[in-house]
Amino acid sequence: MKQVSWIIAASGSSIANSAVIPAILATEGSQIIGHCSLSQTHVPLDDSPAIRYPSYEKLIRESGADALYIPLPNNYHLDLIRLAVECGVNVLCEKPLAMNVEEIDEIIKVAEGSSVVVEEAYMTTHSLRDQRLREIARRIGSTEATARFTFENRNFENYRMDRRFGGGALLDVGIYVLDPIIDLFGEPTGIEIVNFKERNDTDMDLEAVLKHPDGKTSRIVTSFVRPEEQFLQFSNGKMKISAARPFTPSIDDVQIVIEDNDGSTSTELAEGNYIYRAMVEDFNRAISTGTRPRRSLEQSRNVQQVIDDIFEAARAIS
């Protein structure tokens, strides 16, 4: 596989520095050659050989990089992706990929006919345990699912708390609870809103029941006001499948719990892996060999469509 040169937009981002930049540097054949931060005078990459650029446009147009990683607020994604594709730069963009499904449709249109890869940086799908859990849930014929991703966000200055920047709990963590359910059950045919609370037009707490084809159902919760919890469970009415910290697993999270109706439990061990590096490796492989990345734009669109539909149902009754 060829050497892949990377550039980083918003190189002061916490997710970039805590997870994705280390993963890029840990991936054989990857190097970071440039970055840009408009909000911080000094970032860790300033102490590396990577060149700091004064603007995102110069970073993309002048660096000559193969790949761009975008961890900016969601309202910046579309314009930077459009510019990168225009310049022939492949894009790994933080989730959510866009503000709404119309923007994803535009991204798909922009990317069509080019050799550029655009992928949403949804790392959970690269977890070997996540893949195994879905295999088991599919094998046993699951008909019900429950998924919750909640935590208390008290930083009201953060862009995640502002709808104008694509903030809100559902857009921020909705991909985690919805993607495995949509993968197994298909897109919902009906949406029942159980609870919906907003602050300054930004959703803080949402609970919904989704009806899927063939009588399958799911219940999801996303929240910035409830105690921290990650929960994912599939059931066929006779047994339940779940895993601890299902959405942000570490390399040591390998256990899948299988519970029968009689209360007995058993476990299956999956292989652990460094999911951020697996994501970078998959992306590098896609742009080096022309193979399809693990997460497609169509999958991103499917999840975003459901998020948009949930918002429409919630705001219709609020």
For the chain, what are the domain ranges?
Answer: 4-121+276-294, 128-272
Angle between helices 77-86 and 101-111 (to 10 degrees): 10
Residue 122 in 3-state DSSP? Answer: coil
Architecture of domain 128-272: 2-Layer Sandwich (3.30)
| Secondary structure (3-state) at 123 | helix
The confidence score (pLDDT) of residue 261 equals 87
Distances from the Cα of 20 to the Cα of 24, 27, 121, 162, 263, angstroms: 6, 11, 9, 24, 40
pLDDT of residue 212: 98
Alpha-helical regions (H) of the chain: 14-15, 21-26, 56-62, 77-86, 101-111, 128-139, 169-185, 275-289, 297-317
Mean pLDDT along residues 16-24: 98
Topology classification of domain 4-121+276-294: Rossmann fold (3.40.50)
Q: What is the largest CA-CA distance in the chain?
A: 63
Residue 1 has pLDDT above 90, yes or no: no
pLDDT digits (tens, 9 = 90+) for 130-166: 999 999 999 999 999 999 999 998 887 788 888 899 9
**What's the whole-number mean pLDDT along residues 265-276?**
96
Q: What is the pTM of this model?
A: 0.96
Predicted confidence (pLDDT) per residue in 87-120, tens digit: 999 999 999 999 999 999 999 999 998 999 999 9
Residue 150 pairs in a beta bridge with 223, 229
